[in-house]
Amino acid sequence: MILLTRAVVQPWNCDMMGHMTTRFYVAFFDDAINILLGQATGWAPTTPEWADRGWADVRHEIDFVGEVASGVIVEIYGTVRTVGRTSVQTDYEMRRLHGGEIAAKLAAKTVFFNLAERKSTPLTEPMLERLKSWGT
């Protein structure tokens, strides 16, 4: 797994019991997914060559392993697990910066998506070539 991003857990990310809420775990992981897919496939949503193509998350499975409170700095690591014709399955770990303990794990499946036609579309050959270097 490689480091994708870091974040500071803010007081507004936490619930009345003092831990980060599920909605912010998902948001932090979503940032990491976009970073990984950009690095692993070359996808860049703001460039003309990627017009009308993007990603749709179709499955998330999160394991909450340890508590995360306000003020904790987390790092999110990720890797590609498997590559299909139109989808990529990825794994992530959210770790505390200080101590390295795992706070949460995410297994995700993301489909390459034609935004104009609103349906999945095959990964391109250049994308598949790039994904090979990610352990697939």
Ordered domains of the chain (ranges, CATH): 2-132 (3.10.129.10)
Which pTM was predicted? Answer: 0.92
- pLDDT for 135: 64
Q: Calculate the average pLDDT of the chain.
A: 93
- pLDDT for 44: 85
Whose CA is closest to 109, among 95, 129, 91, 123? 91
**Helix runs in the chain, H state only:** 22-41, 125-132
pLDDT(38) > 80: yes
Q: For 55-98, what is each residue's pLDDT tens digit?
A: 999 999 999 999 999 999 999 999 999 999 999 999 999 999 99
Contact by Cβ (8 Å): 80, 133: no
- pLDDT for 45: 83
Please name the residues in contact with 126: beta carbons below 8 A apart, sequence gap of 6 or more.
42
- What is the distance between the alpha carbons of residues 122 and 28, in angstroms, rounded to a whole number? 27
Please name the residues in contact with 40: beta carbons below 8 A apart, sequence gap of 6 or more.
80, 88, 130, 131, 134
- What is the distance between the alpha carbons of residues 96 and 17, in angstroms, rounded to a whole number? 19
pLDDT(50) > 90: no
pLDDT(111) > 80: yes
Sign of the CA dihedral running 83, 42, 122, 54:
positive
